[in-house]
Structure 1
Amino acid sequence: MLSNKVIVIGSLNYDINIHQERMPKKGEVVTGISCTESSGGKGSNQAAICAKLGLDTTMVGCVGTDSFGNILKTSLKKAGVNTKYIKEKGSTGLGIVHVMPDGDYYSTLVKGANYLINKKDIDDILPLLRQSNYLLLQQEIPEEILTYIIEKIENEKISVILNNAPAKKISSNILKRLDYLIVNETEASFMSNTTITTIDEAIYAGKILKSQMNGNLIITLGENGSIAFYNDCIFKCNPIKVKAIDASGAGDCYIGSFVYCLSQKMSIPDAMQFASKASALAVSKNGVQEAFPTLDDILNFSM
């Protein structure tokens, strides 16, 4: 394990993945091609890839007192994640993922135990937070808990990375505390109150968001690559072309891989290129966490 400590506070979902030709219209039934089940949730996925790349990673969140919860914890343990601080409450969160032939997907989430995490759970892990180098957050837990977490670590040296997904309004105080904000084009559109359909529109939206921050901004653009806004620089990372089979979890793979790069003191452009390789490898396989690459996979990847 690398000495850098990562703590992920977020969601754990049991995913049911339905592969089908298209989404149904209202009142229509569409026959699926196949159905698979996998461990998911943005928090869980991001923790899994961090650990698979060798980082000392701890997951904090809630699963249900059911078999799904046990499966999720077992999957994270297999990836090398410390699951000691995952509480069991209520019923496990579920993700219903409709995967299209081009690898793109539509998702519906059932919040479940993810929304049962509370302030005491955060207070219990404050000593762990103070010992960690990176805190990775998403928006699949209650907003007041995310705010509470950031307020509690205001005077700590830990680097805070927020994946604002699903997109929610964020106060200026929270935005200014972030070291990195990572969003896709849909989330960036929501946050900047603009429309993003082109690279120029993404740059325009990014400038709006970056002006509200003290830290750095990454906007991922799927098959169009990604753009970083840091210091006074704008860097466009070109996409890596692969045959996409299943894009679910690709963004999480990118984010966890990016955090690995931060731990290795890589430049932001190099980190984006590394993370792009990781997510390209992930989308070329079926599944989510089980499709995430190892460090050797990424280092040996040739375009």
Structure 2
Amino acid sequence: YEKFYNKKFNLNLLNKNIVLDLNFSKEFIKKIVNKNYKTNNITVCGTSPFKVYKIKNIIKKINCLILNKEELFALTKYRNINKSIKFITSINPYINLIVSNADKKTYGYELSKLISCKPPKVKVVNENGAGDVMAGIYVYYKSKDHKLENALSLGVAAGVLHARNKIKKNLNYNSIKKVSNKVKIKKEKLNA
């Protein structure tokens, strides 16, 4: 993708959602973000605590950042979710920040509002990819103008369905919504 973009493709996007993960090179991510952040919505999804250094200097230009707890800690050097969120939001107060803490809670920050979503207890069959499913569903519903609480509870619910191995070909809004009704949403305080 990077070779294609650099050599043959002049990307001129306007009012689009650009979603990147950290498997791209630091230079490619920086180039895409710097060229497009003023006219597009930039979302970056973490893939490893060892790759978050790639976005350290462009946090101000990212609209939405989705990380797991360890990726957040590696990015901020704090080993506390609240302190880490406060650090990121001090750099970019307009960022939409999602932090998953496995089966415990997923935190969402947007415009000075911090919430947590606690998933229902389930028998986990395979948690591999549950965070990816959560992120994908969250990004989809945010792009459809759902509020933070709704989009995040739907994302968490989809992650739960994936971990339970209940995702089938006919996964739809109603099946996700049914589980999202069991997700406990709580307003949190941003103390550090």
Shorter chain as denominator, the TM-score bin is 0.7 to 0.9
Counterpart amino acid of residue 206 in structure 1: I
Match of 2:161 in 1: 281
Corresponding residue for 1:190? 74
Call closer, same or farther: CA 1:123–1:159 in 2, change over 3 Å. Answer: farther
Aligned equivalent of 1:226: 106
Q: Does 1:134 align with 2:13?
A: no
Whether the 8 Å CA contact 2:56–2:75 is kept in 1: the answer is no
User: 1:218/1:120 Cα in 2 relative to 1: closer, same or farther (>3 Å)?
Assistant: closer
2:177 partner letter: L
TM-superposed deviation, 1:231: 1.6
Query: Which SS does the other structure have where 1:223 is aligned?
Result: coil
Q: Distance in 1 between matches of 2:76 and 2:136?
A: 24
* Alignment partner of 1:254 is 2:134: yes
Instruction: Encode CA deviations 1:28-76: one digit per residue, 9 max, x unaligned.
Output: xxxxxxxxxxxxxxxxxxxxxxxxxxxxxxxxx4xxxxxxxxxxxxxxx
**How far apart, CA to CA, are the structure 1 residues paired with 2:102 and 2:32?**
30
Asked whether 1:299 is paired with 2:183, we answer no
Q: CA deviation at 1:239?
A: 2.0
Shift of 1:122: 7.6
Consecutive aligned runs of 4 or more in structure 1 exceeding 6 Å deviation? 289-292
| 1:163 Cα deviation after fit | 1.0
Change over 3 Å in CA distance of 1:122–1:139 after alignment to 2: farther
Inter-CA distance 121–284: structure 2 relative to 1 (3 Å threshold): farther
1:203 matched to which residue of 2? Answer: 82
Q: In percent, how many aligned pairs have the same letter?
A: 19
Alignment of 1:6-155 (within 5 A): 61=1, 117-118=2-3, 120-121=5-6, 124=9, 126-127=11-12, 130=13, 133-155=16-38
- What is the deviation of 1:224? 1.0
Task: Look up the SS of the partner of 2:108 in the other structure.
Answer: strand
Q: 1:217 aligns with which of 92, 97, 115?
A: 97
Q: Which residue of 2 aligns with 1:180?
A: 64
> How does the TM-score come out when normalised to structure 1?
0.53
SS in 2 for 1:211: helix
Task: Note the residue ranges of structure 1 that are not aligned, 5 or more in a row.
Answer: 1-60, 62-116, 196-200
Q: Identify, as 1 or 2, the structure richer in helix.
A: 2
Asked if structure 1 preserves the Cα contact closer than 8 Å seen for 2:63 and 2:96, the reply is yes
Query: Offset of 1:165 from its aligned partner?
Result: 2.1
- Paired residue secondary structure (2:47): coil
Amino acid at match of 1:279: G
Q: Aligned in 2, Cα 1:125/1:293: closer, same or farther, shift over 3 Å?
A: farther
Query: Take 1:122 and 1:162, find their aligned partners in 2: how far apart are those partners?
Result: 23
SS in 2 for 1:207: helix
Alignment partners' CA distance in 1, 2:16 and 2:76 = 29
Deviations 1:96-124 (A, max 9, x none): xxxxxxxxxxxxxxxxxxxxx33635861
Residues 245 and 291 (structure 1), Cα distance of their counterparts in 2 relative to 1, 3 Å cut:
farther
The alpha carbon displacement at 1:133 in A equals 2.4
Deviation (angstroms), 1:242: 1.4
Provide closer, same or farther for how the CA distance between residues 218 and 266 of structure 1 changes in structure 2, counting only shifts above 3 A: same
Q: CA deviation at 1:205?
A: 1.5
Distance of 1:216 and 1:152 partners within structure 2:
20
Cα distance, 1:224–1:136 mapped onto 2, change above 3 Å: same
TM-score by length of 2: 0.81
Structure 1 residues 294 and 192 mapped into 2: Cα distance closer, same or farther (>3 Å)?
A: same
Alpha-carbon distance in structure 1 between the residues aligned to 2:15 and 2:3: 20
Query: Which one has a larger percent strand, Structure 1 or Structure 2?
Result: 1
Pair member with larger Rg: 1
Deviation at 1:254, TM superposition (A): 0.7
> Does the 8 A contact of 1:282 with 1:291 survive in 2?
no
The number of residues matched between the two structures is: 177
